[in-house]
Amino acid sequence: YFIYEGYQGMVDGGENIVEVTWESVSSILQVGGTVIGSARCKAFRTREGRLKAACNLVKCGITNLCVIGGDGSLTGANLFREEWNGLLEELARNGEIEEEAVKSYAYLNIVGMVGSIDNDFCGTDMTIGTDSALHRIIEVVDAIMTTAQSHQRTFVLEVMGRHCGYLALVSALACGADYVFIPEYPPEEGWEDHMCGRLSENRARKKRLNIIIVSEGAIDSFNKPITSEQVKDLVVNRLGFDTRVTILGHVQRGGTPSAFDRILASRMGVEAVLALLEATPETPGCVVTLSGNLAVRLPLMECVQMTQDVQKAMDERRFKDAVELRGRSFTNNLNTYKLLSNKKPEGELPKSNFTVAVLNVGAPAAGMNAAVRSAVRLGITEGHKMLAVTDGFEGFSRGQIKEIKWGDVGGWTGQGGSILGTKRTLPGKYLEKIAEHMRAHCINALLVIGGFEAYLGLLELSTAREKYEAFCIPMVMVPATVSNNVPGSDFSIGADTALNTITDVSFFLLPSAYVAH
């Protein structure tokens, strides 16, 4: 059954509850939003409203409910489940249903799936809709960058996230933003000086644009709001930079779903139905979440309580607790952003006397440049000397090796292909020359970013260790290939972008397919 217009449709019943077939859900994968509608419902918050909803479900013989929504919708579903038997008994006393129906439909099983672009539900790495919203944000950032570079401007982007800063944080990480404001991790006192100092340093390094991302719920350490207009005025008054504000608003909710969201929602939908089929009267309400790359079932109300605890922690200014409650994915993204956006003064950097070489191998894949940027900046932060090798193993054999600095990789995150250059050539016939250049540059570690050729290349180098001592060093490979065919990894860098390109092309072909029939 479809229940149209959310809980309101359940309360109203009638044509809002419709039996559906296989064909009813054909050709809706690429449609944004929800084809069955969604609505806030005051009536469902009352027992009288829930009585009507229960009566309408019993009339259709429905005792299994899959609810897609946020923590408020899922809390309401759990309360409905707890009250179910009492509601049916009251309906029978009122003569609205038969006594036999109370026994036949004695239990209501519920399973939740979280649909929220804010990714504000604890217990899951990603909620349905978040990835698509991030795509909208990055599309806008990429468009703005052209204007900002041309006019040497600063842009302040306000994104959604009244109580959760995930969209702001991850979009800042994805576009290499200069500064980000989120409610879970407010800036320390005196942030105005710190932000202006960082913007000035970046502009002094010939960076022609500055991007600042502000979550709509951003606050300072005293729980006072930080607005995009406030940030803009600060930059203009303190630095005199030409600054513009862009508020994305409901653009983030629109458009077709990304490939990741289509796959995530499909997998979660299957897991939700399996959970309902396996449920017993004693089974507590559960929510289907994403952990790593697996769809898992977690106790519904435990996740709801954790989500509510985040807001409580922020209200009480326990911001460290708020970040930890958001979960592993949020914490890792925050730590990564801090590492990659904040360059330490030269005098504060440790000296490791360790040299790391980075190269790309195989066919180009979107995200290769972002991986190089991350490796270079983290290596410099740890005090290592970072070397860039151009044109893969072939370039390595010709000595195309140079030191690469923090500022050299600025603006690399959004650029496709491989700025370092990449080739499919394996190192087998160049082993002698590669070993020679590794000794000459005192290379202590090797990072290879690429596809299956990179995997095979490292195998060849490790096999040659008995003959060449220069290869007896740590060697690490980061999978980057649209084919996603590197052993040992669920995802390769570039595969998601390729999938999105395929789904975009499929979407444009659909009208032609319908016409041609």
Indicate whether 53 belongs to any domain. Answer: yes
What is the share, in percent, of the chain residues with pLDDT greater than 90?
80
Kindly state the average pLDDT of the residues 103-117.
93
Q: Are residues 122 and 137 in the same domain?
A: no
For residue 338, tell me if it sits in a domain.
no
Examine the domain organization and report whether 87 and 167 are in the same domain: no
Say what the alpha-carbon torsion angle 110, 113, 116, 118 is, to the nearest 10 degrees. Answer: 110
Residue 492 domain boundaries: 355-499
Least confident of 227-231, 265-269, 504-508: 504-508
DSSP state of 65: E
pLDDT tens digits for 118-170? 999 999 999 999 999 999 999 988 888 777 667 788 999 999 998 999 999 99
Other Cβ atoms closer than 10 A to 344: 12
Left (φ > 0), alpha (ψ -120 to 50) or beta: where does 386 sit? beta
Q: Which helix (H) or strand (E) holds 386?
A: strand 385-389
Tell me the CA distances in angstroms from 217 to 120, 311, 321, 508, one per residue in order.
12, 11, 18, 36
Q: What is the pLDDT of residue 72?
A: 87
Q: Please indicate, yes or no, if residue 331 is contained in any of the structural domains.
A: no
* H or E segment to which residue 213 belongs: strand 210-215
Structure tokens at 365: 């894949």
| pLDDT for the residue numbered 145 | 79
Segment holding 444, helix H or strand E: none
**Active-site choice (12, 118, 261, 391):** 118
Same domain membership, residue 372 and residue 492: yes
pLDDT of residue 144: 84
The pLDDT assigned to 48 comes to: 95
Residue 318 lies in a domain: no
Are 182 and 210 part of one and the same domain? yes
Question: What's the 3-state SS for 321-351?
Answer: HHHHHHCHHHHHHHHHHHHHHCCCCHHHCCC
- Give the chain's domain count: 3
Among this protein's residues, is 118 annotated catalytic? yes
User: Tell me, what's the pLDDT at 354?
Assistant: 95
Q: Which of 15-24, 29-38, 165-174, 351-360 has the lowest mean pLDDT?
A: 29-38
Task: For residue range 421-445, list pLDDT tens digits in order.
Answer: 999 999 999 999 999 999 999 999 9
For residues 360 and 453, membership in a common domain is answered with: yes
CA distance 372 to 360: 9
Average per-residue pLDDT for the chain: 92
Counting DSSP H helices and E strands in the chain, the numbers are 17, 16
Residue 516 within a domain: no
Locate all alpha helices (DSSP H) within 94-152, ordered by sequence: 99-104, 130-151
Mean pLDDT throughout 356-380? 97
Residues 110 and 166 in one domain: no
Q: Are residues 477 and 360 in the same domain?
A: yes
Are 159 and 203 contained in the same domain? yes
Residues 268 and 247 in one domain: no
Domain annotation covers residue 349? no
Q: In this structure, what CATH number is given to the domain that contains residue 224?
A: 3.40.50.460
Spatial contact of 200 and 192, defined as CB atoms under 8 Å apart: no
Say if residue 142 is in the same domain as residue 120.
no
pLDDT interval class at 98 (50, 70, 90): very high
Q: Are residues 249 and 261 in the same domain?
A: no
Q: Are residues 399 and 454 in the same domain?
A: yes
The predicted model gives 268-280 an average pLDDT of: 95
Mean pLDDT check: name the lowest of 42-46, 147-151, 365-369: 147-151
Model confidence band, residue 505 (pLDDT cutoffs 50, 70, 90): confident
